[in-house]
Amino acid sequence: MEKTEKGFSGLVREYEQTIYSICYMYSRSEDEAKDLVQETLVNLWNGLDKFRGDSSLRTWVTRVAINTCISFKRKKQLPTVDESFIPQLSDASPEAGTQIRLLHERLCRLDYLDRAIVLLWLENMSYEEIGAIVGIAAKNIGVRLVRIKNKLKNL
């Protein structure tokens, strides 16, 4: 892909929700989520001219976002979750906000790989796409998801 501001703006517009979703699930506060989004955008811009097209653009963007979040988290561990950190959903009921907070808390207790698999599954990616992003055979993604779901139920 050619590295131009116009092309990059289009890429950001197309994948901004995916990038934010990934950053949100690896965050413990709204400020940290914003930092992760910015760091991801910087990494995407810096890596844009290195994108060879071996995978889809969606796969590459997702992989960069996840790797950015994991690297960021390894550098800076935050021990607590900001209780006010619930996404602003205009049509969300109080029950939905509670469910979102509980899901976020449980996902934060998963290891980085399991969290990535769940996030990608929630983004409606195929097992093949998820496998390409996390480096696991697609046939193993279904098995991992069952194990992750059971783990989440027991948290």
* Long-range contacts formed by 133-142: CB under 8 A, 24+ apart: 133/59, 133/62, 133/63, 133/66, 134/66, 141/117
Structure confidence at residue 2 as a pLDDT band (50, 70, 90)? low
For the chain, domains (ranges, CATH) are: 1-77 (1.10.1740.10), 92-155 (1.10.10.10)
Residue that has been written with the tokens 């400020």 in this structure: 31
Alpha carbons 7 and 90: distance in angstroms, whole number: 31
Cβ proximity of 108 and 81 under 8 Å: yes
Alpha carbons 27 and 46: distance in angstroms, whole number: 23
Whether residue 134 is predicted with pLDDT greater than 50 in this model: the reply is yes
50-103 pLDDT, tens digit each: 888 888 899 999 999 999 998 887 776 544 444 444 444 445 566 666 777 777
Task: Concatenate the DSSP letters of all residues of 16-57 into one string.
Answer: HHHHHHHHHHT-SSHHHHHHHHHHHHHHHHHHGGG--SSS-H
Q: What mean pLDDT value characterizes the chain?
A: 82
* Full-model pTM: 0.66
